């Protein structure tokens, strides 16, 4: 039985019967599964109950070297020789196979990462498939997409992804790279490698030529070895700002093209004329969606003073009906935190918020006894300079501040090192345009939040990184333009 303080529901568990997890995964290099030269493996566990899922190969420099060599050979001998239409056929085939296996991919994502099955099933997997369909369509139209510019592939791309949207981030990187004629070596995050390994099986099933996609698993040292490899033409990284800065330094003085999609501390702004119930639901979606493990999460809420009490009361009331628990249960709103390490980080920030003098609110729901869980948390009475307001927590923690004027909220919203996303809630179109033009954010949502589409570019300002993924911009990142 799942319970919150509002009502009890019987469990509605998604079946895991169709998912086959191998006891041990090797590296996917040159179209084959290869035991790591490092002879080392690490464990992948289910954060929902701490059970062991699989052993996964931990690639070292020599393994990375093999993968890059395979990608270079495939680029030179096969992939760069194919027409765009031929490349597109492979991408369409991959997209259709992903669709066929959508349920399996969703369950795997939930088991490995802890996100609610509802999100994996309705958001992650469909969006990942759509990315492949979208870029499959562009593969033979690059000349039309960039008329008169004679676009050409870069060569071999090294790609590194985080754990919050494992399959979706893979799709954001691999689909445009392949459509443009590049080959890739991708390193998934160490806590969520399984859907990338399943994707490797899909590449085999699609008959993708060996070496076009290579998957090397491992920790940060594997990622660093990939970044340092001299025979790469492009590095695409999504992850924390701290690691992004290290990667930027490592690429200085090389000819590698670089895109960085980094952290965020996004502002969600409710003006006094906003439809309040809709805005409250939007706030819940903006920060508690995927346990707050969203780079663009609306983790700082700004409410106009005249409606602040009303909004706070409604938020607290809504939080009482939120289900935190087994991510495989279709009733679950907030699943498991991705790892013990991340849970400890979030708990440290909650403690810090209390030490900084903020007022805390958490609903009275019960958490499962095993696994990594965190209650949704609101902090009010926070100073603009507080660390919980300035730093990315990457968990279900929302700070709430009030404001009187548009000038004040714009100034506060922009006053962080980040600039990834923002939200604005108001009844007036003119205000949407007026405020959004002043916000330093790569994406601004109006009267909604966390909406994605393969045709829309996504990316940040300031310490949230540079470069865009998605849309035509996402193609540009994998092309050079001789004229």
Which residues contact ligand NAD by CB under 6 A? 160-164, 187, 189-190, 219-220, 223-224, 227, 238-240, 243, 246-247, 261-264, 295, 392, 394, 420, 460, 464-465
Q: Nearest CA to 209 among 354, 310, 76?
A: 76
**Largest Cα span, the chain:** 66
Give the span between the Cα atoms of 267 and 439, in whole angstroms.
Answer: 9
The residue among 167 and 315 lying less far from ligand NAD, judged by its C-beta, is 167
What sign results for the dihedral spanned by CA atoms 33, 128, 444, 350?
Answer: negative
Q: Which tokens is 433 given? A: 């345009």
The residue among 88 and 223 lying less far from ligand NAD, judged by its C-beta, is 223
Q: How far is the CB of 189 from ligand NAD (least distance, A)?
A: 4
Give the span between the Cα atoms of 235 and 237, in whole angstroms.
Answer: 6
Q: Nearest CA to 398 among 269, 294, 283, 306?
A: 283
The residue among 126 and 220 lying less far from ligand NAD, judged by its C-beta, is 220
Q: Which tokens is 201 given? A: 């099986």
Q: How far is the CB of 261 from ligand NAD (least distance, A)?
A: 3
Q: How far is the CB of 213 from ligand NAD (least distance, A)?
A: 17
Q: Which tokens is 175 given? A: 């689909």
Give the span between the Cα atoms of 372 and 293, in whole angstroms.
Answer: 13
The residue among 211 and 465 lying less far from ligand NAD, judged by its C-beta, is 465
The residue among 239 and 454 lying less far from ligand NAD, judged by its C-beta, is 239
Give the span between the Cα atoms of 89 and 132, in whole angstroms.
Answer: 11
Q: How far is the CB of 67 from ligand NAD (least distance, A)?
A: 15
Grouping H, G, I as helix, E, B as strand and the rest as coil, residue 278 is helix
Q: How far is the CB of 111 from ligand NAD (least distance, A)?
A: 18
**Per-residue CA distances from 361 to 252, 274, 397, 449 (Å):** 45, 24, 10, 23
Q: Which tokens is 94 given? A: 């991959």
The residue among 88 and 460 lying less far from ligand NAD, judged by its C-beta, is 460
Catalytic sites, residue numbers:
261, 295
Place of tokens 């939007």: 282
Q: Which tokens is 449 given? A: 């939040």
The residue among 236 and 312 lying less far from ligand NAD, judged by its C-beta, is 236
Q: How far is the CB of 295 from ligand NAD (least distance, A)?
A: 3
Residue 42: CA atoms inside 13 Å, Cβ hemisphere, count?
A: 17
CB 31 within 8 A of CB 208: yes
In the complex, residue closest to ligand NAD by CB: 223
**Per-residue CA distances from 177 to 132, 166, 194, 297, 301 (Å):** 11, 17, 21, 26, 36
Q: How far is the CB of 310 from ligand NAD (least distance, A)?
A: 31
Chain centroid, CA 57 distance in Å: 23
Q: How far is the CB of 144 from ligand NAD (least distance, A)?
A: 27
Angle made by CA atoms 111, 115, 116, in degrees to the nearest 5 = 100
The residue among 91 and 227 lying less far from ligand NAD, judged by its C-beta, is 227
């Amino acid at each position: 039985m799942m319970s919150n303080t509002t009502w009890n529901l019987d469990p509605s568990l998604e079946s895991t019967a169709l998912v086959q997890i191998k006891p041990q995964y090797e590296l996917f290099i040159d179209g084959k599964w290869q035991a790591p030269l490092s002879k080392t493996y690490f464990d992948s566990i289910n954060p929902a109950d701490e059970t062991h899922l699989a052993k996964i190969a931990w690639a070292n420099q020599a393994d990375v070297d093999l993968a890059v060599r395979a990608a270079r050979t495939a680029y030179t001998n096969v992939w760069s020789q194919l027409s765009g239409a031929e490349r597109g056929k492979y991408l369409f085939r991959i997209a259709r196979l992903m669709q066929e296996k959508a349920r399996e991919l969703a369950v795997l994502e939930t088991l490995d990462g802890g996100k609610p099955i509802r999100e994996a099933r309705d958001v992650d997997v469909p969006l990942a498939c759509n990315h492949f369909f979208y870029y499959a369509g562009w593969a033979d139209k690059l000349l039309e997409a960039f008329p008169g510019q004679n676009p050409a592939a870069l060569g071999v791309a090294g790609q590194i992804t985080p754990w919050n949207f494992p399959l979706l981030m893979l799709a954001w990187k691999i689909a445009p790279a392949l459509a443009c004629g590049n080959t890739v070596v991708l390193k998934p995050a160490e806590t969520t490698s399984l859907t990338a390994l399943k994707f490797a099986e899909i590449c085999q099933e699609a008959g993708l030529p060996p070496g076009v996609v290579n998957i090397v698993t491992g920790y940060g040292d594997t990622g660093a070895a990939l970044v340092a490899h001299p025979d790469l033409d492009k590095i695409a990284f999504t992850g924390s700002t701290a690691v992004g800065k290290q990667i930027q330094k490592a690429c200085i003085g090389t000819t590698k093209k670089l895109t960085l999609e980094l952290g965020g501390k996004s502002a969600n702004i409710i003006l006094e004329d906003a439809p309040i119930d809709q805005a409250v639901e939007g706030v819940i979606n903006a920060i508690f969606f995927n346990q707050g493990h969203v780079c663009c999460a609306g983790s700082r809420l700004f409410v106009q003073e005249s409606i602040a009490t009303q909004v706070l009361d409604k938020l607290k009331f809504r939080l009482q009906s939120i289900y935190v628990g087994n991510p495989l249960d279709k009733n679950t709103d907030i699943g498991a935190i991705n790892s013990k390490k991340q849970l400890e980080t979030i708990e440290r920030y909650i403690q810090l918020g209390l030490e900084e003098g903020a007022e805390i609110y958490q609903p009275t729901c019960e958490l499962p006894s095993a696994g990594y869980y965190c209650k949704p948390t609101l902090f009010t009475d926070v100073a603009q300079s507080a660390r919980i307001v300035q730093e990315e927590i990457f968990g279900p923690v929302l700070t709430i501040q009030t404001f009187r004027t548009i000038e004040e909220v714009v100034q506060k919203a922009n006053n962080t090192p980040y600039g990834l996303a923002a939200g604005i809630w108001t009844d007036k179109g003119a205000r949407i345009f007026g405020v959004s033009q002043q916000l330093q954010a790569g994406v601004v949502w109006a009267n909604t939040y966390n909406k994605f589409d393969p045709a829309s570019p996504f990316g940040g300002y300031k310490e949230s990184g540079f470069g865009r993924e998605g849309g035509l911009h996402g193609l540009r990142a994998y092309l050079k333009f001789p004229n």
